[in-house]
Chain A
Amino acid sequence: MNILTLFVVIPVLMLIGLWLSKNDNQVRGVMVTGATALLGLAIYLVFAFLEMRETMPADQYPMLFTYSTPWFKALNIEYAIGVDGISVVMILLSAIIVFTGTFASWQLEPMKKEYFLWFVLLSSGVFGFFISVDLFTMFMFYEVALIPMYLLIGVWGTGPKEYAAMKLTLMLMGGSALLIIGILGIYYFSGATTMNINEIAAMANIPVEIQKIFFPFLFIGFGVLGALFPFHTWSPDGHASAPTAVSMLHAGVLMKLGGYGCFRIAMYLLPGALDAWAPVFLVLTTISVVYGALSACVQTDLKYINAYSSVSHCGMVLFALLMMTRTAITGAVLQMLSHGLMTALFFAVIGMIYHRAGTRDVRYLGGLMKVVPFLSVGYVVAGLANLGLPGFSGFVAEMTIFVGSFQNADTFHRVCTIIACTSIVITAVYILRVVGKILYQKIPNQEFYKLHDATWDERIAVIGLIACVAGLGMFPLWADEIIDGAVAPVINHISQFTAVAGL
């Protein structure tokens, strides 16, 4: 069997295992086994991928591990899979988040079994999305990833959870509606012979006028998930209400589907529309970056702060994609990876603090460093990673983006870049404000003295994520090279059709 198919098969096996399991320990057993298998497989995939790629000519790496079989002949829908460097790191990211998310929901109550069923279904959608290269299959997995979110938030969430779940689902479904229009547009105007992304790109036969019509459908459709301004408002409410591991998976992986889709489908298949549309979206993403950061400065709920911070950081992903230089796009993927890891860490720690203190309101928290030092250190590390401290992944990603964006030498791109750069200061403001408020100073509430520090399962999640964030931050070259090799052919392809793209 193709190694990529395993990424869908294992979650399905896990679903069966969960369905059969009788008690909590069996559920946990299935989850740990499955998550470990996925993580191991993802790591193996990275090495196998690199080994296989070695033999290919540089700068034109094709998709590897490809496989395709007809699925719905009449519409040329195939189960077509394949990965390049970008998908490989995304798969690795997803596996890490699923693994750590499992430990972060170790003590979840009630209905652990049902919770994990949805959780696994969601992750199977995510993996499926990253491995497929067929427009329809991709869309299908995308939907599989979205729907469980409704139940996960609506049932296991906190606060106004029904409202949040409904809002999130409706907005993302609205995005899907745009997507399906865009996908059908691509399919019919490219001759209705194939749904395979690579084949459509190779034909490059969609008239530019048509590309201009469908580009915004796809970019906004994916952009909703990537928290593109002004379609981001599901993010604060959704994240705030979601249970810990769901926030982790959602911000860590699901939001990356947006950036990935914008790149892989909107930009790759409709490059002719970029000249007209890229400046418009570039302005929107620049707004996202600064706007999200400024909004985060005055929030009082820890999860809201982090959700707005995600708006800013995911805005940075789309921003870098639209800069259309090889370095900037590499930076965008690094940022997806980095943001996925550090925001998962953030949400994990916030969830653990909330679980103990019973509140996420910064006005009522304080002095936690004294009572829960492990979690507090985790929070500080997540914060420092978020504000781009060297040694953590954020720095690598942001610097790659800024240097890459600067390669685009006209004034408009320059101004956008410099405006986006200011986010590094604003990020510092909101991160340090919260760290200073909730971890340091005096303990405002006598109850807090009774709090206990992280349990072993929580420690696994936190330490695992910190190790990844620091590992990527200290040794970024390997990830950089995997991604860069995949960006090169795409950017070469795009630059044939647009004047904006640089090298």
Chain B
Amino acid sequence: MEYSYAFLILLLPFLSFLLIGLAGMKMKKPVAGLIGTLVIGSVFAMSVFTAYEYFFAVGRDAATGLYPTVTVFNLTWLKFTELLTFNIGFRLTPISVMMLIVITTVSFMVHIYSFGYMAERDENYKKEEYEPGFQRFYAYLSLFTMSMLGLVVATNIFQMYLFWELVGVCSYLLIGFYYPKHAAVHASKKAFIVTRFADLFFLIGILFYSFYVGTFNYDLSATPELQSNLAGAAWVLPMALFLMFIGGAGKSAMFPLHIWLPDAMEGPTPVSALIHAATMVVAGVYQVASLFPIWVEYAPNQLHWVAYIAAFTAFYAAAVACCQSDIKRGLAFSTISQIAYMLVALGVCTAMEGEGGVGYMASMFHLFTHAMFKALLFLCSGAIIVIIGSNFKEYMGGLHKYMPITNICFLIGTIAISGFFPLAGFFSKDEIVDACFHFSPFMGYFMTLVSGMTAFYMFRLYYVIFWGNSYYEADPEHRRKPAEVPFVMWGPLVFLAVVSCFAGWIPFGHFVSADGHAEDIALQSLHFGPTAWMSLCVAFVGFGLATWMYAKGTNPLPDMLQRRMPRLHKAALNRFYIDDAWQFFTHKIVFGLFSKPIAWFDRRVIDGTFNFMAWGAQEAGETIRPWQSGDVRSYAVWFLTGTVALTLILLAIAL
């Protein structure tokens, strides 16, 4: 049977997590790492083979001309009601196969790269010892990979939610990897709580969806019965889907739930590359794509809201990215902006077929290419951080001389993300812009503008790192001379750089499209429309501006702008105070207005009432106690008085 090995794709990383997690401390550090890496390597191989089998060996279904949806296995995990069972399964669709490739490729590269990154180095960048917690790091990576794979092969929305939570906790554990650091702990907490808050809406969305549709499945072709249920639930679907999207917006860092992602950069850089750039953060996009047919049919207006939210996020994040001095945070905002592109592309779709459905393909294509070049950029920045020992651009500059390979790789990534021909980003992003123009000219121009900003901030980042004024050369006596990173680190860089160069030429529309039929990407046959020329021009302007302002490091314009518009600069630097707004909300409102008064109320009022009752009983006892004094004479007096009184009363009644 085909795909009979598929269960191993989930099981192997899980076993490696258990093995490294439980016995890791007994192992030598490289052994633990090697186990993890070998396992992911074999999962990578299996995924590639699955993709080969799915797209080529088995291929399209002869009758329908579509790639079939294959459910490899689907086990009942928990039974809720007759209709609603919680299944855990393995489902292959074009996009889940594509995600398998993305996840395992990046994960495999990150596993290799981390051998170099997670090490302590001496003066000359020679490795001395692997970092403490090396085994733990690889255990978490395995767990994350398993969870992410489980998420994308989910057969139903609840399975997705289950793994969704698991990737969330892996992200939490990995962001807080350097747990003695206050900032890391704080960031990990923030990431988890913000995404949990969003997941609450996801859960409520699932509850609505499942109650009215009568299933957790998103595979609706299964039965006609389901189709009619769906039609009956049409009134609730827009709300249910939008609630689920809020969950997705939390994971995919859409405004205003994006606040956790820049802080998440406190984690080790390979983690940022794997989780916070390539895989987990696109879960929201993948979720919308998984439910895409239902969105288009039952909630087209809400789908456009998604597009508007995402478009705003893209612009906002690009604006903030323009003035970050922490290179990882700059990349993080760039990630937010690029994910927003993917959601815009999904949001502007109006139909499954033809022009209206181009956005779906474009979105998935961008997801694929972005994963590659953004992972590349993050891994490059990791290489720089290893050498420089800091995230801040002030300590860099002029590195092209010292780190030639990293320089070239970073440049390739920059060109790719900026959307220059013929690298990956050009094709996928222009498809998106194209789809936007189909939707409305405003959206098209807006997203073109943002892609110009992308080119600007990415080249700015590139110049301040690799060109401009060198920090080392300013004082070579006292500062360490930068050097190239070892092979174990630049190897993955080169691999991803090569992929980023050529990924754009994959005839992606032949594998993934909204209606399932093969679709050609016009750009790949070099038919440039006006939109393509325009976005190339805009990207070029962004590039030119960045070159003029930052290439030499002597142009006074950036400083001048900063001085001229101090408010704007400060606001952008502080991410337009969104974080402070949240801080205010959580600390002042939730803690101050709810938790503290409730705790006070509990101790003083409720507990006070019970204590008061106890006190009352005791006081009553104290009051009565003297009456039982044990003094026979006073008893006698009371006894006599009582008898006399009783006699008098009886007499009074009798008379």
Contacts and interface: CB of A to CB of B under 8 A. Distances in A.
Interface of A: 166-167, 170-171, 230, 233, 291, 294-295, 297-299, 326-327, 367, 369-370, 384, 387-391, 395-396, 399-400, 402-404, 406-407, 409, 417-418, 421-422, 424-425, 428-429, 432-433, 436, 439-442, 476-477, 480-481, 484, 503
B226 interface: no
B585 interface: no
A498 B193 CA distance: 40
Contact of B203 (A166, A402, A440, A442): A402
B80 A327 contact: yes
Given A390-B162, A399-B86, 13 more contacts: A170-B614, A294-B594, A294-B595, A298-B596, A369-B179, A396-B78, A421-B204, A428-B192, A433-B189, A436-B176, A436-B188, A484-B79, A503-B81
Contact of A390 (B163, B172, B192, B599): B163
B412 to A, nearest CB: 38
Interface string B194-212: 0011011001100110110
Contact of A297 (B158, B185, B595): B595
Contacts of B78: 396, 399-400, 476-477, 480
Contacts of B189: 432-433, 436
A480 B79 contact: yes
A171 B203 contact: no
Contact of B185 (A166, A396, A440): A440
A436 B204 CA distance: 28
B76 A477 contact: yes
10 contacts: A295-B602, A298-B596, A388-B165, A404-B81, A425-B197, A432-B172, A432-B192, A476-B77, A477-B77, A503-B81
A424 B196 contact: yes
Majority secondary structure of chain B interface residues (helix, strand, loop or mixed): helix
Interface in B267-325: none
Contacts of A436: 176, 185-186, 188-189
A291 B603 CA distance: 13
Contact of B193 (A298, A404, A429, A484): A429
Interface in B452-480: none
Given A389-B165, A480-B78, A481-B79, A167 B614 contact: yes
Nearest to B179: A440
Contacts of A369: 179
Contacts of B197: 425
B584 interface: no
B341 to A, nearest CB: 29
A295 B203 CA distance: 24
A298 B192 contact: no
Contacts of A294: 594-595, 598-599
Given A432-B192, A433-B189, A391 B166 contact: yes
A331 to B, nearest CB: 9
A400 B81 CA distance: 10
B15 to A, nearest CB: 13
B142 to A, nearest CB: 14
A481 B79 CA distance: 8
Contacts of B163: 390
Contact of A441 (B79, B169, B179, B599): B179
A298 B598 CA distance: 9
A233 B602 contact: yes
B193 A428 contact: yes
A424 B180 contact: no
Nearest to B207: A406
A475 to B, nearest CB: 8
B545 interface: no
A223 B244 CA distance: 35
Interface string B510-553: 00000000000000000000000000000000000000000000
Interface string B591-622: 10011101100100011011100100000000
Contacts of A429: 193
A422 B179 CA distance: 28
Contacts of B196: 387, 424-425, 428
Contacts of A481: 79
Contacts of B192: 428, 432
B405 interface: no
A370 B180 contact: yes
The 9 closest A-B pairs by CB, nearest first: A440-B179, A233-B607, A297-B595, A390-B162, A436-B185, A406-B207, A428-B196, A440-B185, A298-B595
Contact of B80 (A230, A395, A404, A417): A404
Contacts of A391: 166
Nearest to B77: A477
A424 B203 contact: yes
A306 to B, nearest CB: 15
A440 B180 CA distance: 6
Nearest to B198: A425
B408 interface: no
A421 B207 CA distance: 11
Contacts of A370: 180
Contact of B211 (A399, A407, A425, A439): A407
Contacts of B188: 432, 436
B625 interface: no
B179 A439 contact: yes
B606 A233 contact: yes
Contacts of A166: 614
B224 to A, nearest CB: 24
B26 interface: no
B567 interface: no
Interface in B163-184: 163, 165-166, 169, 172, 176, 179-182
